[in-house]
Amino acid sequence: DSGVTQTPKHLITATGQRVTLRCSPRSGDLSVYWYQQSLDQGLQFLIQYYNGEERAKGNILERFSAQQFPDLHSELNLSSLELGDSALYFCASSVGGTSDEQYFGPGTRLTVT
Amino acid sequence: ILNVEQSPQSLHVQEGDSTNFTCSFPSSNFYALHWYRWETAKSPEALFVMTLNGDEKKKGRISATLNTKEGYSYLYIKGSQPEDSATYLCAFHDYKLSFGAGTTVTVRA
């Protein structure tokens, strides 16, 4: 158990809908990262937050947004869902930034039908 | 999209043998290189974070080296055991992270 929690574990929804994925980092970690793993692609970095502020942005679509709240938990919002958004979404946390180990949560499996 | 390449894509090792594989990454704008171990149906697990050219890190039978000037890192597994079977991912960190596709290691008893 990494200490990072993600909810829900599984999510099934229809195209065009909007969902919110939630991540709680390990106690004391200030950074939260979001990743997407699709069947046909490897692990893709989406976005990083550090202590409530956006730190780095990767291959995140405009239909997706994220935020980190004062209690340091983070939410990833996915809207206007498409079939291709079906993937495993991981959250990871670290104490600080670049040179710190990241601890991954168990992931949320999103299926868009 | 940054080009992070891992080779080989997969390898089979006899129990007790040692093995190594490579991660290649851009040699500019280097912040850090991460290695992860990813078992099927689990989440990636951090092995090493390497930040300095010439870094060598070790955890048990697994070790890694880093050459930032030429843009590569090696991961070594000494005396492979069946529990070492997993996919090993590297990630290049400049201002964001770019992952390689991984090297899948299968250790045969």
Q: Is B96 on the interface with A (CB under 8 A)?
A: yes
Across chain A, mean pLDDT equals: 95
pLDDT at A41: 81
CA B55, CA B72: separation in Å to the nearest integer?
Answer: 12
The SS3 assignment for A10 reads: strand
| Among B48, B53, B97, B98, the residue to mutate for chain A (most A Cβ within 10 A) | B97
One-character DSSP codes across B32-99: EEEEEEE-TTS--EEEEEE-STT-EEEETTEEEEEETTTTEEEEEESS--GGG-EEEEEEEESSSEEE
What's the average model confidence in pLDDT over A52-75?
95
pLDDT tens for chain B, 109 residues long, are 568 999 999 999 999 999 999 999 998 888 999 999 999 989 999 999 999 988 999 999 999 999 999 999 999 999 999 999 999 999 998 888 899 999 999 999 8
pLDDT at B27: 81
Chain A CB contacts of B89 under 8 Å are 42-43
d(CA B96, nearest CA chain A) in Å: 6
Short-list B57, B70, B63, B62, CA closest to B24: B70
One-character DSSP codes across A22-50: EEEPPTT--EEEEEEE-TTS-EEEEEEEE
CA B35, CA B13: separation in Å to the nearest integer?
Answer: 20
Residue of A nearest to B52 (CA): A99
Q: Is B81 on the interface with A (CB under 8 A)?
A: no
pLDDT at A37: 94
The SS3 assignment for A85 reads: helix
d(CA A83, nearest CA chain B) in Å: 22
Q: Is B2 on the interface with A (CB under 8 A)?
A: no
One-character DSSP codes across B10-24: EEEEETT--EEEEEE
Cβ–Cβ below 8 Å for A99 and B32? yes
